[in-house]
Structure 1
């Protein structure tokens, strides 16, 4: 009992410490457009506006495999972070994973979703006069699979999320009726209904675009829908789903050789929180007997794009997208 209370106290302290940092999650410095250039797009690149399943049409940018047949190549869908922009995905702007298309993989990046948590909201955000309700879960379940099929891509599809979209990648895979075959959560909030986390989510979303995720997404912090969207709570439903769970430990590594104040304020506490949440999930998964989970908790890493990029390339090298 004492150990359990101690663990909860530590988790609560980590959450409180991370709340200020969570408000600036998902930022990064631009360093990549993807294969080719904006003026000279590569072979296999397409952009389209896809039915938003209740939202305005969603921009989707894709790169077909250039080294294998796209009809048989694994397909990977990348979900963005809290401060997702509406021009290109952070995965394109701040990471190089579009180059997976040169390694026999089809790449799909939906664009946008600022503070959406990639779920269906119960109402439009009331604090920023949002003119429509977010319906990202419906989009990922219906419209996006239809579009991917129309491109001739394979239905061997993985869903990869980071930070805000980590738990969403897992839950949307669960709810896709088997369309998404595996999910990766990189520095995700994998115990999102834990004490204090709904409040932190609400504060972060208000700071990022003025979205009222604390009330208009799944209701107040004690609403049962938070638990329904919590991978740790839903762990028994995940026994047949291959997962990749990763988080750093807040130690500065190769992507922060000269850390500044922002690295300390943002990158360290956020990654502490992500690690705490991922460890909580790991414990629940082990108790539930899940045996299709790959865990990667490297000896260094902060809440930074480079580390998430490295995880994706590790998935590629180990053949995880094909398993």
Structure 2
């Protein structure tokens, strides 16, 4: 049963490297982005039964490499948001904000549970911040709260993560004024938008298998497929398709605002690879029947999603190329919309982040 759950979690969010020259460093500090916004209170995490049930905590609750914090969000009526931090060994070090995908920690589909991010970043001497909340929210500010399922109460995630949180959190971490933001799938879009809405705040951005465009028919309906899983509609989030707010949150339309920021952008092509085959999972001890069913789901559903992502990402590259905005691309020869590709992205994005942050 445990093996089945592990494989199901992997399905929950079901190339060649082209290296870009260095971009200019970020210069904007958290207090400039925050303005008059009321800031978060950052403190040690209160370990609730809900937190204890989450697999990331079961793995790393006693691991001293992972700092367990929580922060209030004034914009979300004082909501308390759990935060895990892979702590830099020294003070005055950069910070990477690593955004979870659609299901997030609430569905045990987060970076700490699904990858070996702790092992990878532990010796890199950077702070890696993972907000363990916000499932299906796109980490954006919603016009209207659905007040259903995962999307209950005010949804003001961009305000929280770009204005309320960075100053107090980075002060606590004794971090430098250098930072990056990266996300996968749903949050690959969010990472691009955070940088576009706050020029000069992020030195680097990682967009792992996401879609920059949001305001065209196909892409808008892709938003719907994601937020529906959390009980919401894209109209509640950004208004009607093509509205002013929707266009403001279309990273393809606003690509010029990424000039000067280091970019790492990736995608598979939807064709199944080694990690999409039943044998990949049976070698890990998964029951052969479960592995076969799961692999079929990855190859069909995950393949269709990643083919769409691949189309989006090539359109994004074409736009950036036309504007002479450099980026490092990782277009994989195979790969569905699943965790093995995003695990690779942690490794492959590091040279880009290291160049920008150090």
TM-score range, shorter chain: 0.7 to 0.9
Q: Tell me the equivalent position of 2:114.
A: 94
Q: Which runs of 5+ in 1 are unaligned?
A: 1-23
Residues 37 and 26 of structure 1: CA distance in aligned 2, closer, same or farther (over 3 Å): closer
Equivalent residue for 1:251?
A: 271
- Asked whether the equivalents of residues 59 and 113 of structure 2 are also in contact (C-alpha less than 8 Å), the reply is no
Instruction: State the TM-score, normalized to the length of structure 1.
Output: 0.81
Please, which runs of 5 or more residues in structure 2 have no aligned partner?
1-10, 15-54, 279-291
Residue 114 in 1 paired to residue 101 in 2? no
Q: How does 1:71-150 map to 2 (within 5 A)?
A: 71-72=92-93, 74-86=94-106, 90-99=110-119, 100-125=121-146, 130-146=151-167, 147-150=169-172
Deviation at 1:251, TM superposition (A): 2.0
Contact preservation (8 Å) 2:272, 2:299? no
SS in 2 for 1:255: helix
For residue 248 of structure 2, what is the aligned residue in structure 1?
228
Deviation at 1:52, TM superposition (A): 1.8
Question: Where is the helix percentage greater, Structure 1 or Structure 2?
Answer: 2
Q: CA deviation at 1:309?
A: 1.4
Q: Write out the 4+ residue segments of structure 1 that deviate beyond 4 Å after TM superposition.
A: 126-131
Of the two structures, which has the highest relative contact order with CA contacts closer than 8 Å and spacing of 6 or more? 2
Partner in structure 1 of residue 81 of structure 2: 58
Q: 2:196, 2:251 within 8 Å by CA — same for their partners in 1? A: no
Aligned Cα root-mean-square deviation (Å): 2.4
CA shift for structure 1 position 164: 0.3
Which residue does 2:208 correspond to in 1? Answer: 186
SS of 2:80's partner is: strand
Aligned twin of 2:284 = none
How many Å separate the matches in 1 of 2:92 and 2:198? 20
Deviations 1:103-133 (A, max 9, x none): 2222110011111011100111166595422
Query: Which residue number corresponds to residue 47 of structure 1?
Result: 68
Match of 2:232 among 208, 211, 223: 211
Asked if structure 2 preserves the Cα contact closer than 8 Å seen for 1:114 and 1:209, the reply is yes
1:46, 1:62 within 8 Å by CA — same for their partners in 2? yes
* 2:338 paired with 1:267: no
Which of these residues, 217, 229, 234, is aligned with residue 195 of structure 1? 217
- The offset of 1:25, in angstroms, is 5.6
